[in-house]
Structure 1
Amino acid sequence: MTGTVLAVDAGNSKTDVAVVTAEGRVVGTARGGGFRPPAVGVNTAVDKVEEAVRRAFAEAGVDSVSHVSACLANADLPVEEAELTEALQTRGWGSTVEVRNDTFAILRAGVAEPRGVAVVCGAGINCVGMLPDGRTARFPALGRISGDWGGGWGLAEEALWFAARADDGRGEPTALASALPAHFGLPSMPALIEALHLERFPLSRRHELTPVLFATAASGDAVARSLVDRLADEVVTMATVALTRLNLLTEETPVVLGGSVLAARHPLLDTAIRDRLSTRAPKATPTVVTAPPVMGAILLGLDSTKAGEQAKSQVRAHYNSPSPSGV
């Protein structure tokens, strides 16, 4: 099956795979669990992906493809990409293998060609840019040690910090001090702090506080609003730096916004991002991508195999995703 592509979009919480023909027909799909090499080791993480790959291969009636396009969470550094590429090559899924950070899948899903910048804000925050000639711009995206601020997890932590200080008098008043504990059915910040410290709630439930933060900001709370404004600044700063690195700041260029926080299109955040972009990168065209990231991994694979635009349009039609302007 010359020109076939195995696309893998592996995130921390789930993995989607698809087998696609050279003509752009999706002939096999499967979903697996999260991809977390730092927690379980590279081989164990790839084993989990292989379970989904084998199911997709069975549905497609193949046992290998021409090219593997893998967009993987935790592929943040070149050394990690190289290690993961080697691990996938040993599985024999395809003749060639290309591994990228999973943010590239979201970028490619939202652009007409492999050209533009994406900022993704979900649990964490990341930004990448790419050009058709293969040049890229990216950040390590390893948290505070690499200079990052934002993401749903970080916003929840900041909201808790301000709420705790407001409650005990160290900080300025904020409605977060009552809104956060109320979300969990608790009467006060001390009760919430105790519950979190003693792990009465799963750690993952802290993510639930991010929508509470946005709702509190929308009600006019100054502290909550300051956090939303800071996130907008961070998103625009990352996008502007990536555009500058790729010499795209003075050209019409799509800036794709993705991830659960940005895709929710909170009005305050969405407006703040667009206002700041219009000042700092006036040629940038912000769009919110809602297409599944695995579609971006497929398109990247078809780019690599030199597939035509008709094949890519077929893929977009399969996922009911309108073609971006310019296709």
Structure 2
Amino acid sequence: MDGEVVEHRRLVLAVDGGNSKTDVALVTEDGEVLATGRAGPFAPQSEGVAAALDVVEEAVRQALAQVPLGGAPGPDRSPDAPGPDNSPNDASGPDHFPDRPTVLGRFDHVAAYLAGADLPVEEEALAHEFARRGFGPDISVRNDTFAVLRAGASGPWGVAVVCGAGINAVGVSPTGEVTRFPALGHLSGDWGGGQGIAEEALWHAARAEDGRGPATALAELCTRHFAVGTVEELILEIHFGRLDESRLHELTPGVFATAAAGDPIARSLVERQAEEITVLAEVCLRRLDLLETPTEVVLGGGILQARDPLLTALLDASFAARAPRAKILVVDVPPIVGAALNGLEHLGATDLAKARLRARYERA
């Protein structure tokens, strides 16, 4: 109808780019999740920035295929407006998105929280690529640990420690001051995460087998899990490329089980992991002058979310001794929630909208 005003609900594209998968969510400013999509790992450091963004595009196309574009008009285009090629703006399925500007460019804000964005310069490079591809006029890119923080905390500040395949931590003060780490693995002083624990377990297993170190049930764990006769055989399988070294992380649950069964070497690895998690949080709190302030410390990542009884008990004791004012929270919703909440807050969304979003994932 001539003169009719079409209400536009602003739209956030939330992105959680992880080491194992990439999730996206299309979220309106009032907290409705219109659609979601999932694609493969987000790996700019090994695959390159362009390939990593291709993965995001795949997930976005999946999401947009679920929602007619008329159901969520972009900032500069009504549902009936033609696309960039003057064709009808029809969005009934993925085949109707042949041109990148038609698929993208419809988001009022892109909130992308990404593995591999460990340094500000990497965040800038990824933000540039999002902009170059026309995702939208307003783009924020940060490390995925910030999404875990917002997913688990009651507000936009606090400390988060993520212990999954690797380990990382960030802190945000009530005034917005940020502290973080390079998170480049052993090179930057990190220890632990699933891959690190497994590599250390193999190191101890090798020394136990050849006599350089004390006996440990970790040697049997390694040979049994990978169906080899000796630890040396497993090492050679990795050395000659017949077994991908990244598969070592499969040992991690067994390391925790071996520790629980009383093996002293395995227990020492769990104790060291608890120490690393605590010290990361403690340093963040100290840098932000929050050690004496009640502060939420969000724990996320597969190892922490598994709530292993031994690790949990060690963490409780360690935090009580070193950061007694910290309020420990284990995140119970996926990181995409944190990305979306940050996006909504960027748009100035209401508390009701944020609660609506969180409820959607808490019910899932």
Whether the 8 Å CA contact 2:195–2:246 is kept in 1: the answer is no
Q: Does 1:277 align with 2:319?
A: yes
> Which residue of 2 is the match for residue 108 of structure 1?
150
The CA deviation string for residues 89-133 of structure 1, in whole angstroms up to 9 with x for no partner, is 122222210001011111110011011111111111000111353
| 1:70 correspondence with 2:112 | yes
Kindly tell me: are residues 182 and 211 of structure 1, through their superposed partners in 2, closer, same or farther at Cα, counting changes over 3 Å? same
Aligned residues: 322
Listed as ranges, the matches of 1:1-327 within 5 Å are 1-60=8-67, 61=69, 62=72, 64-320=106-362
Over 3 Å counting, the alpha-carbon distance change for 1:308 and 1:132 in structure 2 is: farther
Moved more, 38-47 or 284-293: 38-47
Give the counterpart letter for 2:57 in structure 1. E
Shift of 1:193: 2.4
> How far is 1:182 from its partner?
1.5
The TM-score with structure 2 as length reference comes to: 0.85
Query: In 2, distance between residues paired with 1:95 and 1:314?
Result: 25
Deviation for aligned residue 1:44: 2.2
Deviation readout 1:236-262 (Å, 9 max, x if unpaired) = 000000111122111111111111111
The one-letter amino acid of 1:27's match is: L
Verify the 8 A CA contact 2:221 2:251 in the aligned structure 1.
Answer: no
Q: Partner of 1:145: helix, strand, or coil?
A: helix
Give distance in 2, aligned partners of 1:54 and 1:187: 47
Q: Distance in 2 between matches of 1:321 and 1:278?
A: 32
1:303 offset after TM fit, Å?
A: 1.4
Please identify, of 222-231 and 171-180, the stretch whose mean Cα deviation from structure 2 is larger: 171-180
- Could you say if the C-alpha distance between residues 237 and 286 of structure 1 is closer, same or farther in structure 2, counting changes exceeding 3 Å? same
1:2 Cα shift?
4.7
Distance 1:172 1:222 in 2: 10
**Structure 1 residue identity aligned to 2:64:** F
Deviation for aligned residue 1:164:
0.7
Counterpart Cα distance in 2 of 1:93 and 1:243: 35
Unaligned runs of 5+ in 2: 1-7, 73-103
Q: 1:5 to 1:133 in 2, by over 3 A?
A: farther
1:305 CA displacement: 1.1
Which region of structure 1 is more displaced relative to structure 2, 224-233 or 202-211?
202-211
Q: Contact 1:72 / 1:101 at 8 angstroms: preserved in 2?
A: yes
Q: Which amino acid aligns with 1:201?
A: L
Structure 2 letter corresponding to 1:220: G
Q: In the alignment, what sits opposite 2:97?
A: none
How far apart are the structure 1 equivalents of 2:138 and 2:127?
Answer: 10
Contact 1:249 1:281 in 2 (8 A): yes
Letter in 2 for 1:295: V
The runs of 5 or more residues in structure 1 that have no matched partner are 323-327
Are the structure 2 counterparts of residues 188 and 44 from structure 1 closer, same or farther at C-alpha, using a change threshold of 3 Å?
Answer: closer
Q: Deviations over 1:161-202 (max 9, x none)?
A: 111111111111211122221222333323322333334433
Q: 1:51 Cα shift? A: 2.0
Q: 1 CA distance for matches of 2:22 and 2:296?
A: 26
Identity of aligned residues (%): 54
State the partner residue of 1:325: none
- Structure label with greater radius of gyration: 2
| 3-state DSSP of counterpart to 1:70 | strand
Secondary structure of 1:6's aligned partner = strand
Distance 1:321-1:106 versus aligned 2 partners, 3 A rule: farther
For structure 1, which segment, 257-266 or 229-238, has the greater mean C-alpha deviation from structure 2 after superposition?
Answer: 257-266
**Which letter does structure 2 place at the counterpart of 1:134?**
G
Residues 281-321 of structure 1, C-alpha deviations (whole Å, 9 max, x = no match): 00101121131111110001111111111001000111016
